[in-house]
Structure 1
Amino acid sequence: MTIIQNQVTINRPVAEVYAFLADCNNHEQLMPENIYNWSSTRDEATFTIQNMAKLSLRIDSRIDNSEVVFVPAEKAPFDVTLRWKVASATDHTAIALLIIEADLNMMMKMMATKPLQKLVDKQVEQLKVIMDRS
């Protein structure tokens, strides 16, 4: 199992960060420029990654003010789980951690690790920007 992660501290209470992450409609704002054809509901998102594939993710579980877990809504090229964990740093700041767990063979690992890390880095950076300005 390949695990890719990054975290960020956000100047917002954990409940606000969790509320944002628990709604798939908000995740379009976290995506890099090479994502298009975005369509979402509160529980599911479908999008296309430029020059790659169309993906559908759905929320598999929510733990209030703690975790949101996404899994593929349709057959994916490999098993993958995206897990957002949030925790209070202080009463007014939260730590958000994005973890991607992917079952990649050696060839896929060589090709996908760097783009997946870039995706994780971009999403945590964007989350901080969005939450700090709201």
Structure 2
Amino acid sequence: MTTFTSAISINKPINEVYNYLADFNNHQKLMPDSIQEWVSTTDEASFSIPNMAKLSLKIDNRAENQEIVIKPAAKPPFALELKWSLSPNNDQTDVVFTINAELSMMLKMLASGPLQKLADHETQSLKALLA
């Protein structure tokens, strides 16, 4: 597994950050502008990445005010898990977004940069939206 992480602190209580992330409908606002064909419910989302793939994801596990684990709802091009981990830090919430991907050596060379950019983009978008 190849792991990509991005960490931030948000000046909001943990329950507010958790409630936002626990609803997949909110995740479209975290995605880069290049994401197309977004369709979501509270628990699932599907979208396409131009010139790459169409993905269907589902929230696999919610641990209130701690973490949200997202896994593929349909067979992805490679094994994938996304995880939002939350921890209180005084009046702030520390957030770590992790992407675990099973990448072949070739895919690793092609996808590592974009996957790290995605992790960073999602955390920065979350911070901006909840500021």
TM bucket normalised to smaller: over 0.9
Residue 103 (structure 1) aligns with:
102
The percent identity for this pair of structures is 47
Residue 27 (structure 2) aligns with:
27
Following superposition, the deviation at residue 50 of structure 1 comes to 1.4
Residue 69 (structure 1) aligns with:
69
- Provide the secondary structure at the position in 1 that maps to 2:87: strand
- Provide the secondary structure at the position in 1 that maps to 2:112: helix
Following superposition, the deviation at residue 17 of structure 1 comes to 0.3
- Structure 1: tracts of 5 or more residues without a match: none
CA shift digits 1:42-98 (9 cap, x unpaired): 0000011112111000000000000000000000111000000011011x2101110
Following superposition, the deviation at residue 120 of structure 1 comes to 0.4
User: What is the distance in 1 between the residues matched to 2:113 and 2:96?
Assistant: 18
User: What is the distance in 1 between the residues matched to 2:77 and 2:46?
Assistant: 15
- Give the count of matched residue pairs: 131
Residue 42 (structure 1) aligns with:
42
- Provide the secondary structure at the position in 2 that maps to 1:87: strand
Residue 78 (structure 1) aligns with:
78
Residue 89 (structure 1) aligns with:
89
Moved over 4 A (4+): none
Q: In the alignment, residue 35 of structure 2 is paired with which amino acid?
A: I
User: What is the distance in 1 between the residues matched to 2:73 and 2:59?
Assistant: 9
- Provide the secondary structure at the position in 2 that maps to 1:34: coil
Following superposition, the deviation at residue 105 of structure 1 comes to 1.0
